[in-house]
């Protein structure tokens, strides 16, 4: 056993963070010690994202710092794992700071690969050569089984917040939205066996976790066939609901073209399944939606939202939008603003289109919306989303909401002065509203009632109220 120190930094989405936490657990169990400081680490692992160019640039600038650090500490080992490693492979290994590059499908091999890199002192590349292959090919099956074993072995409550845990329901994606790199870095879509998902949920519940979020790039296409029965997302929700001490269940991300009523019905029928739907539209213009290969029109999306809201009253809807997709005119943009106005989202992420090498949009469409226009459209949509949320959130004033406490809030908020035994806490409602209030730090992981006294576009503020 060695007791080397390792610093692990994550740049990506929830999937990527989950990978990091599993890896951290595996490494600790194998005798490594985790450290927050790269300066005192023997090994630095960076888990990366390729979804936009900016995400990759941040990693390169980080690698620049590490290259500098290596001048004074030549034995420092740097590993780049995750989506960027899969996308760039040997090219990434050429970077003077990088000793090891391993893709998302090699996650379970990383502890052994690090050991090998230390012993052999040579650069190591571990990525999947042909990442796009049929989901039923034997290779995909073998990789999934190995990743599942790793995931079950190293998923512990320490990987998660006190209040909630994320469990992967699926890997990969088969949708090929024309702008998106994910299918090329995460591979074909594979649903994990319900047994394995339940086993993890059960274990986490026993350790005190009360909220579970099921993860998948298109979570509503979850399908697993076993002994002649096909399990869907609705079945998974039903099964996780049966775990006694689980109180709240969320699932992300839903794809509008794959949505079935059974999911909304499960939400309405099962009290533990929260009325929260993250279902990105990406655009409100039919021309752009078609060019994005999203598989629905703005009308179909709006009808779907209407149906969802008729089945699940008080449904909170969140979304993602891309501005400045190739060919997006002012009229297309207005159509997006119009859709946002009609849906009245709880919250949205707005992204500026970033061409990703190898995607259809990058190869065939010209990135012809000027940077300033993308920037302006981004700001305009954010303002609109915030204005709607600000208006809609006022309905919570004076109301008492059930909040699952995450812990002390890190960002300074405008709330009443804190005190040592009543620091500022942050928590979330079943609809995923962020609530800030003062209270004892021991409340982390517990449910409290908070009376809302102030609201803004993104946050609700209040005081704990006795039951
Ligand atoms: N599977 C999810 C999204 C995963 S990526 C879904 O289908 O909704 C998260 C978000 O990043 C996407 O919803 C999209 O809005 C944004 N995104 C993806 N590729 C992008 C690109 N090339 N440029 C800008 N934003 C992008
Ligand atoms: Fe990317 Fe589309 Fe798959 Fe989401 S559904 S990960 S946007 S290809
Ligand atoms: Fe996630 Fe980024 Fe990979 S969004 S799946 S870490 S490309």
Is the C-beta atom of 343 inside 6 A of ligand 2? no
**Contact criterion met (CB below 8 Å) for 165 and 159:** yes
Most informative mutation of 104, 183, 292, 295 for ligand 2 (most atoms within 8 A of CB): 183
**Contact criterion met (CB below 8 Å) for 191 and 136:** no
Convert 109-172 into a string of H (helix), E (strand) and C (coil): HHHHHHHHHHHHCCCEEECCCCCCCCCCCHHHHHHHHHHHHHHHHHCCHHHCCCCEEEEECEEC
Q: What is the CA(461)–ligand 3 centre distance, in A?
A: 32
CATH superfamily of domain region 4-126: Methylthiotransferase, N-terminal domain (3.40.50.12160)
Q: What is the CA(445)–ligand 1 centre distance, in A?
A: 31
Q: Which atom of ligand 1 sits closest to the CA of residue 359?
A: 22
Most informative mutation of 51, 54, 58, 171 for ligand 3 (most atoms within 8 A of CB): 51
Take residue 420 and report the two structure tokens written for it. Answer: 């040592």
Residue ranges of E strands in 172-232: 190-191, 211-215, 223-226, 229-232
Among all bound ligands, the one having the nearest atom to the CA of 323 is 1
Helix (H), strand (E) counts: the chain: 15, 21
Is the C-beta atom of 172 inside 6 A of ligand 3? no
Confidence (pLDDT) at 162: 85
Residues in the chain, pLDDT under 50? 1
| Residue located nearest, by CA, to atom 5 of ligand 1 | 51
Is the C-beta atom of 12 inside 6 A of ligand 3? yes
Provide the residue count of the chain: 467
Confidence (pLDDT) at 412: 60
Find the distance separating the first CA and the last CA of the chain, reported in whole Å. Answer: 51
Q: What is the CA(180)–ligand 1 centre distance, in A?
A: 6
Q: What is the CA(294)–ligand 2 centre distance, in A?
A: 9
| Residue located nearest, by CA, to atom 4 of ligand 3 | 13
Q: Which atom of ligand 2 sits closest to the CA of residue 174?
A: 3
Residues 6+ apart with CB under 8 A from 199: 152
Confidence (pLDDT) at 1: 46
Q: Which residues line ligand 1 (CB under 6 A)?
A: 51-52, 179-180, 182, 217, 253, 255, 280, 282, 320, 322, 351, 353-354, 356
Residues 6+ apart with CB under 8 A from 115: none
253: preceding bond cis by omega (within 30 degrees): yes
Other C-beta atoms lying within 10 Å of the C-beta of residue 137: 12
Is the C-beta atom of 88 inside 6 A of ligand 3? no
**Contact criterion met (CB below 8 Å) for 248 and 427:** no
Domain ranges in the chain are: 4-126, 138-393, 397-464
Q: Which atom of ligand 3 sits closest to the CA of residue 217?
A: 5
The one-character DSSP state at 100 is E
Give 138-393's CATH code, choosing from 3.40.1080.10, 3.30.1370.10, 3.80.30.20, 3.40.640.10: 3.80.30.20
Q: Which fold has domain 397-464?
A: OB fold (Dihydrolipoamide Acetyltransferase, E2P) (2.40.50)
Strand partners, 463: 451
How far CA 384 is from CA of 254, 262, 348, in Å, comes to 23, 32, 10
Q: Which atom of ligand 3 sits closest to the CA of residue 11?
A: 6
Is the C-beta atom of 246 inside 6 A of ligand 2? no
């Amino acid at each position: 056993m060695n007791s080397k120190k390792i610093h692990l930094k994550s740049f990506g989405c929830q999937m990527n963070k989950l990978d990091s936490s599993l890896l951290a657990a595996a490494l600790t169990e194998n005798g490594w010690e985790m450290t927050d400081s790269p300066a005192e680490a023997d090994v630095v692992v960076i888990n990366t994202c390729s979804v936009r160019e900016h995400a990759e640039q941040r990693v390169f600038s980080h690698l620049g710092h590490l290259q500098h650090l290596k001048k004074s500490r030549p034995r420092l080992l740097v590993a780049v794992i995750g989506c960027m490693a899969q996308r760039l492979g040997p090219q990434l290994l050429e970077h003077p700071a990088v000793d090891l590059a391993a893709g998302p499908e090699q996650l379970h091999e990383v502890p052994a690969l690090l050991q090998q890199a230390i012993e052999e002192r040579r650069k190591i590349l571990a990525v999947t050569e042909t990442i796009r292959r049929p989901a039923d090919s034997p290779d995909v099956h073998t990789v999934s089984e190995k990743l599942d074993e790793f995931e079950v072995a190293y998923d512990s409550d320490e990987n998660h917040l006190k209040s909630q845990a994320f469990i992967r329901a699926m890997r990969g994606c088969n949708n090929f939205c024309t702008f998106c790199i994910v299918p090329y870095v995460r591979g074909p879509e594979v649903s994990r066996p319900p047994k394995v998902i339940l086993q993890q949920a059960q274990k986490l519940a026993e350790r005190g976790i009360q909220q579970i979020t099921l993860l998948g790039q298109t979570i509503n296409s979850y399908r697993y066939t076993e002994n002649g029965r096909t399990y869907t997302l609705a079945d998974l929700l039903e099964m996780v609901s049966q775990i006694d001490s689980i109180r709240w269940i969320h699932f992300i991300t839903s794809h509008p073209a794959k949505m079935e009523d059974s999911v909304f019905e499960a939400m309405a029928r099962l009290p533990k399944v929260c009325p929260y739907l993250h279902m990105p539209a990406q655009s409100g213009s039919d021309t752009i939606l078609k060019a994005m290969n999203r598989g629905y029109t703005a009308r179909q999306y709006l009808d779907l939202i209407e149906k969802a809201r008729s089945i699940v009253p008080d449904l909170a809807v969140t979304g993602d939008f891309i501005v400045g997709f190739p060919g997006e005119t002012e009229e297309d943009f207005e159509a997006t603003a119009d859709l946002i106005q009609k849906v009245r989202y709880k919250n949205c992420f707005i992204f500026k289109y970033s061409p990703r090498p190898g995607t259809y949009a990058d190869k065939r469409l010209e990135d012809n919306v000027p940077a300033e226009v993308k920037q302006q459209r981004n700001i305009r949509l954010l303002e609109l989303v915030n204005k709607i949320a600000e208006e809609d959130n006022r309905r919570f004033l004076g109301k008492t909401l059930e909040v699952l406490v995450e812990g002390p809030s890190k960002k300074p908020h405008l709330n009443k002065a804190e005190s040592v035994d009543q620091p500022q806490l942050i928590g979330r409602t079943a609809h995923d509203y962020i609530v800030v209030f003062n209270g004892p730090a021991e409340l982390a992981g517990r449910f409290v009632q908070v009376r809302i006294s102030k609201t803004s576009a993104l946050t609700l503020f209040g005081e704990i109220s006795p039951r």
